[in-house]
Chain A
Amino acid sequence: MDMTLIVKAASLLGAGICMGLGAIGPGVGEGFVGGKACEGIARSPEHAGLITRTMLVGQAVSESTGIYSLVIALLLMFSV
């Protein structure tokens, strides 16, 4: 049996699991940020612009680990 194809199969399975698990954390975290932003706007509606901006920056930072997973998944698919 051709071993390189088995290695390729393992890397594809790894890519799927990597992106799948890696998407859980940012998803929950960004939702949590958004929920707190809603609470903040309810408490002080006059600061809505500031709160939305901070929310988006926080979500972008939280997103970074999801993007790391995406990069690793693409590397596993196309360059291993």
Chain B
Amino acid sequence: MIDPGIIKVSAYISAGIAVGTASLATGIGSGYIAGGAVESMERQPGINDKLFRSMLIGQAATGTGAILSLVIGLLLLFGGFDNPAGGWYRVASLMGAGLAIGLGAIGSGYGAGVAGGQACIAMGRVPDKNATLLGNMLIGQALSQSVTIYALLISLMLLYSTPLQPEGLAIGVVVMKSVALVASGICIGLGSIGSGIGIGELAGKSNLSIAKVSKGEMGVMRVMFIGSAVTQSTAIYALIVSFLLMFVL
């Protein structure tokens, strides 16, 4: 048994970290898309309505990571996690949940922004292909966000499937298990930053390339899929290590 106040302290700090870090990256990414759209409007004022629409769709997709963090943040604030029977396990898992989704949204916020911004730049260069480019932009952003979904998965599991702390454990065991729960959140959070940014860069370049080719868009898209599948592998290693830290130890 611990004081429920300690669990609340952990939940509030964790909610702040989750929403703060996720918003930071999403702000940069959305700004990049707006910059790309403005640059293209200057070049092609005739299609400004299509560019404006693409910009808004791209920014909405970029905001996904921040919205997922907001959901976790609200759950941490109002989800009623103050049962003192949870003990230090609960304190640690709430902290891990916020760190996982907060750090995990950094990569996709920036990556989806780069993908969308370069799609808008490509639309300005080749206005005829704006439908193909919009589709490719959304695919690229979805690929970039898949790593944030891993972070969301770990975050929800930390919130809802960590056990209550059994009575009468040695303090060392409690410390070990609690540290493992926080480490699980940090691992998937940091691990999905790189893949999110990398897939975003890849999708951005593929948009510029689709604007450049006369035919053979499919070849570029195929390479984008293969490349992003390989790029995700490191995030999957982080996911495995997170699961091991949460359940095996």
Contacts and interface: CB of A to CB of B under 8 A. Distances in A.
Interface of A: 1-6, 8-10, 12-13, 15-17, 19-39, 41-43, 45, 48, 51-52, 55-56, 59-60, 63, 66-67, 69-70, 73-74, 77
A21 B179 contact: no
Contacts of B220: 38, 41-42
Interface residues of B, number: 63
A73 B190 CA distance: 14
Given A31-B198, A59-B227, A69 B204 contact: no
A38 B231 contact: no
Interface of B: 103, 107, 111, 170-173, 175-176, 178-180, 182-202, 204-206, 208-210, 212-213, 216, 219-220, 223-224, 226-228, 230-231, 233-235, 237-238, 240-242, 244-245, 248-249
A70 B235 CA distance: 11
Q: Identify the 5 closest CB pairs spanning chains A and B, nearest first.
A: A31-B198, A27-B194, A34-B227, A20-B190, A16-B183
Nearest to B212: A42
**Is chain A's interface secondary structure helix, strand, loop, or mixed overall?**
helix
A35 B187 contact: no
A66 B234 contact: yes
A55 B237 contact: no
Given A19-B241, A27-B198, A55 B223 contact: yes
Among A3, A36, A38, A70, residue most surrounded by chain B Cβ atoms (within 10 Å): A38
Contact of A16 (B200, B223, B241): B241
